[in-house]
Chain A
């Protein structure tokens, strides 16, 4: 075993001292792993945003057959009727205004809520990390901004910022486990309705966020809400929040699924790159291997060195690409927003570690065939091939 470990520095030197070939191979692997980690992060974001959890208790009441915040208009007074439905714990009317209704990486979503309902409209565990709710309550044009939106736009407490024709004062920044909260700006409902007055939105809201008593009864309560307004002038369509986001962002979900194929393609590219680099290196080093065998190295030892070389190339490229993607996403704070629903490209060090591990495994796999071939080759045939 110690003999096998002693050979690792020799392999490392071999890689380091063939800088052009090694560099190009590692760069290729890094690019592919960058793509893979980016795609996986996007898919993670889609999963987090759209897959329901056992503890989810939020329903979104939207205007039936409407798909954009600009067209979903529900009377604000629906809130009283919703709150009377059995199983509903709280309902918050919410006006949504987005700076861009299409899919985009930088959309500002304003959520207008009544001054006394901000706490109820936020997810449990949400924390104000700068500024205060008190400041928000005092100013009519105040906004509490989600941390991802704030980081993306470079917004700080005390700043004024303008989007979709609405200028607000930043009273606080919130941190939340929910990506919808992290990517929205929370403003007073009357302020947002006033800002939208030209469209005749007064007295109307985009949606109601409804918290239910028992997560197990979400579907039943959603049905009760829709039945209650079925014969009204403006019927509703009520869905669990995650399902609502999945429907709103269905194009993004489709893109993410397609991107998954690209991710697997990137892994195939990594395998092909390493296999090709190793095959070329083996062809160049037939003489070196024959010399080493003459010095007493066995075929399996030389095969081991080939495996280590594949593993090292995979590892270096994997670290560079996967952690490069992780850093880019970590600092870029990208979120894809569509029809007001945000899907963050969510990465973690764990995704980068998995990416690196996969590159390492592919490196070893790519070395298996050449290693086996070399381990069976006799010295005489190696010298004969020079």
Chain B
């Protein structure tokens, strides 16, 4: 049996707010295999976003271990974490979070500016990513000139342009109508099935979980149930 791609061991995150101690994630044990598409559900405050942030290296655990691939993410310094994130993680936000003063092409190009590649190579990768999400004809448009669905496609192109192993999606269809949400979920599924990317998606919408192959339920920082999704 192969080693899981993501291994969480007693993963804990604690905050202190005034005198109050909050533990959104409490000794979580979780394994995710390479190439899995995991949907993460749970009520508000269940620890979904905290887990996503820990997986992305945006936040660090208070206790426990987090191993992604061969990297002990829990023990990396801020600088190394940033470098690791740039190479291995693509993050898709609910509200797209494009940089408003950059056009679609420049937004997608942004993560590549950190890599030592030629301008031609950068151009090739941006074009490929934009083509993969079907947004090539909008490359000169600014975020304000795009629809919600188009903005999310640009955000997905930005997330995949570095060809990361892990795609983390924080309610990627939360702000979209049903039709657009379907097309975005189809796109994520294609990236998972055709390109073998591991996807962890936080969602509130049960309808979007049918694209995933595993559904996890979190409550009060603990894993409640773990079910395989049949499509």
A313 to chain B, nearest CB (A): 15
Contact B91 A294 (CB under 8 A): yes
Contact for A295 among B59, B78, B86, B102, CB less than 8 A: B86
Contact A293 B82 (CB under 8 A): yes
Given the complex, which residues of B lie within 8 Å of A292, measured CB to CB?
A: 99, 110
Q: Does A291 contact B (CB under 8 A)?
A: yes
Contact A295 B101 (CB under 8 A): no
Given the complex, which residues of B lie within 8 Å of A287, measured CB to CB?
A: 97
Closest A residue, CB atoms, query B107: A291
Binds B, one of A7-15, A232-240, A331-339, A351-359: A7-15
Contact B116 A3 (CB under 8 A): yes
Contact for B116 among A2, A294, A379, A383, CB less than 8 A: A2
Contact for B101 among A18, A294, A299, CB less than 8 A: A18
B-contacting residues, A371-386, CB 8 Å: 378-380, 383
Contact A295 B110 (CB under 8 A): yes
Given the complex, which residues of A lie within 8 Å of B89, measured CB to CB?
A: 296
Question: Could you give, for residues 273-290 of chain A, a 1 whenever the CB lies within 8 Å of some chain B CB and a 0 otherwise?
Answer: 000000000000001100
Contact A296 B86 (CB under 8 A): yes
Contact B110 A13 (CB under 8 A): no
B-contacting residues, A1-60, CB 8 Å: 2-3, 6-7, 10, 13-14, 17-18
Q: Does A297 contact B (CB under 8 A)?
A: yes
Contact B91 A380 (CB under 8 A): no
Docked Cα-Cα span, A291 to B102, in Å, equals 13
Docked Cα-Cα span, A287 to B114, in Å, equals 19
Closest B residue, CB atoms, query A291: B97
Contact A14 B114 (CB under 8 A): no
Q: Does B217 contact A (CB under 8 A)?
A: no
Contact B111 A295 (CB under 8 A): yes
Contact A17 B101 (CB under 8 A): yes
Docked Cα-Cα span, A378 to B59, in Å, equals 9
Given the complex, which residues of B lie within 8 Å of A257, measured CB to CB?
A: none
A132 to chain B, nearest CB (A): 62
Q: Is the interface of A mostly helix, strand, loop or mixed?
A: helix
Contact B116 A296 (CB under 8 A): no
B17 to chain A, nearest CB (A): 12
Q: A3-B114, A295-B110, A296-B87 are in contact. Are A288 and B82 (CB under 8 A)?
A: no
Contact A13 B101 (CB under 8 A): yes
Q: Does B58 contact A (CB under 8 A)?
A: yes
Given the complex, which residues of B lie within 8 Å of A297, measured CB to CB?
A: 82, 86, 114
A338 to chain B, nearest CB (A): 53
Docked Cα-Cα span, A301 to B78, in Å, equals 13
Docked Cα-Cα span, A379 to B87, in Å, equals 17
Docked Cα-Cα span, A287 to B98, in Å, equals 10
Closest B residue, CB atoms, query A299: B78
A212 to chain B, nearest CB (A): 68
Given the complex, which residues of B lie within 8 Å of A383, measured CB to CB?
A: 58
Q: Does B79 contact A (CB under 8 A)?
A: yes
Contact A298 B79 (CB under 8 A): yes
Given the complex, which residues of B lie within 8 Å of A293, measured CB to CB?
A: 58, 82
Given the complex, which residues of A lie within 8 Å of B146, measured CB to CB?
A: none
A384 to chain B, nearest CB (A): 11
Closest B residue, CB atoms, query A14: B101
Given the complex, which residues of B lie within 8 Å of A18, measured CB to CB?
A: 101
Contact B85 A294 (CB under 8 A): yes
Given the complex, which residues of A lie within 8 Å of B102, measured CB to CB?
A: 10, 13, 17
B173 to chain A, nearest CB (A): 19
Contact A380 B82 (CB under 8 A): no
Contact B110 A294 (CB under 8 A): no
Docked Cα-Cα span, A14 to B102, in Å, equals 8
Q: Does B113 contact A (CB under 8 A)?
A: yes
Contact A298 B113 (CB under 8 A): no
Contact A13 B91 (CB under 8 A): no
Given the complex, which residues of B lie within 8 Å of A294, measured CB to CB?
A: 56, 58, 85, 91
Given the complex, which residues of A lie within 8 Å of B59, measured CB to CB?
A: 379-380
Closest B residue, CB atoms, query A378: B78
Given the complex, which residues of B lie within 8 Å of A2, measured CB to CB?
A: 116
A378 to chain B, nearest CB (A): 8
Docked Cα-Cα span, A383 to B91, in Å, equals 14
B25 to chain A, nearest CB (A): 14
Given the complex, which residues of A lie within 8 Å of B98, measured CB to CB?
A: 291
Contact B97 A296 (CB under 8 A): no
Docked Cα-Cα span, A379 to B59, in Å, equals 8
Given the complex, which residues of A lie within 8 Å of B158, measured CB to CB?
A: 295
Q: Which of B83, B99, B102, B162 has most chain A Cβ within 10 Å?
A: B99
Q: Does B136 contact A (CB under 8 A)?
A: no
Given the complex, which residues of B lie within 8 Å of A14, measured CB to CB?
A: 101
Given the complex, which residues of A lie within 8 Å of B82, measured CB to CB?
A: 293, 296-299
Docked Cα-Cα span, A298 to B113, in Å, equals 12
Given the complex, which residues of B lie within 8 Å of A380, measured CB to CB?
A: 53, 58-59
Q: Does B106 contact A (CB under 8 A)?
A: yes
Question: Could you give, for residues 87-108 of chain B, a 1 whenever the CB lies within 8 Å of some chain A CB and a 0 otherwise?
Answer: 1010101000111111000100
Could you pull out 15 A-B pairs where Cβ atoms are within 8 angstroms?
Answer: A3-B113, A10-B102, A10-B106, A10-B110, A17-B101, A18-B101, A291-B93, A292-B99, A292-B110, A294-B85, A296-B83, A296-B114, A296-B162, A298-B82, A299-B78
Q: Give me 4 other A-B pairs in contact (C-beta within 8 A), A295-B86, A296-B87, A296-B89 excluded.
A: A3-B113, A294-B58, A295-B91, A298-B82
